[in-house]
Amino acid sequence: MYGFQDPVADMISTIQQIAFRAALQAAADNSTLQNSTQIVEYTGTQEKLIYVTRYSYMICSAVLSFVGIFTMMPLFWRWWQLGREFSMSPLEIARAFDAPLLRGVDGNSSAEKLARDFKGVMVRYGISTKALAEDQAKLIIDYEDSITAPRQGWIYK
């Protein structure tokens, strides 16, 4: 099928080429335009960001930060009386909260020993494949093949 394309783009391109070539020729023909200096006056503005510190807000936030620290301190009080060295490792915390995956492991195992014992074991966070009803659902960390993804709209224990 034959048809016509819009010629405007070609026309504009041709006019630009003609104007460019005419400007080059005008500069070559007029020797007063060569090596000339042009002076342009202008007025400029510059924007600067200025930060203002409200010391009352800063002091209030610092006090609230320290209140948070001091309210957490009782949770760690007498940690040295646990009878063994421990860390805040996720493995040790999971063992302390009786994670199903770690039920058969010695409670006094260090994080390093737990990591060695479970090297290469694939785990996943979700709901157990045994809990197929919403009222039985509980989010746990267990072996990858016994976990399914959480379901939208369910409320977990």
Structural domain includes residue 126: yes
What does the pLDDT read at residue 18?
96
β-bridge mates for residue 140, sequence order: 126
Structural domain includes residue 133: yes
Structural domain span for residue 147:
122-157
Structural domain includes residue 135: yes
Structure tokens at 78: 């007498």
| Numbers of helices and strands, H then E, in the chain | 4, 3
In the chain, the number of structural domains is 1
Structural domain includes residue 127: yes
Question: What are 66-114's pLDDT values in tens digits?
Answer: 999 999 988 878 776 766 676 777 777 777 777 777 778 777 777 788 7
Structural domain includes residue 14: no
Structural domain includes residue 151: yes
Which long-range CB contacts under 8 A does 118-127 form with residues at least 24 apart? 118/91, 123/147, 126/150, 127/151, 127/154, 127/156
Structural domain includes residue 148: yes
Give the pTM: 0.36
Structural domain includes residue 157: yes
Question: What are 39-74's pLDDT values in tens digits?
Answer: 889 899 999 999 999 999 999 999 999 999 999 988
